Amino acid sequence: MDKKKVSVFYITIFMILTALSIGFLINNILTYDKLAKQNRELRVREEEQIRENLKLKIEIEKLSSFERIKKLASERLGMIYADSAIIKNELIVIPRIN
């Protein structure tokens, strides 16, 4: 019986290629895990920023409300809401907003 002998060179090449393939696989797994962790952290930060933006929008709405501005103008500056105004010798009637 004539069996072909597998040379040591081919076995060595096969083992090196297998080791490189396993190395690349491990590297890809580690890189994937690292990127997945960064992705989770960024999503958490995004949610925190969205909540903070919502709080700030609510604060802006509260601070810029007509009633608050009217109250501050009256208390701090002594301003009152007039029913009419004179601009360049013309009488302009300002309707009240209630």
Domain annotation covers residue 23:
yes
Domain annotation covers residue 2:
no
Given a contact cutoff of 8 angstroms between Cβ atoms, the answer to whether 94 and 85 are in contact is: yes
* 25 token code pair: 């696989």
Domain annotation covers residue 72:
yes
Number of domains in the chain: 1
CA distances in angstroms from 53 to 24, 31, 40, 50, 60, listed in the order given: 42, 32, 20, 5, 10
Domain annotation covers residue 77:
yes
What's the predicted TM-score (pTM) here? 0.56
Given a contact cutoff of 8 angstroms between Cβ atoms, the answer to whether 39 and 33 are in contact is: no
Convert the pLDDT of each residue in 12-70 to its tens digit.
999 999 999 999 999 999 999 999 999 999 999 999 999 999 999 999 999 999 889 88
Question: By residue range, what is the domain housing residue 35?
Answer: 9-93
Contacts (Cβ under 8 Å, ≥6 apart) of 86? 92
* 34 token code pair: 């690292």
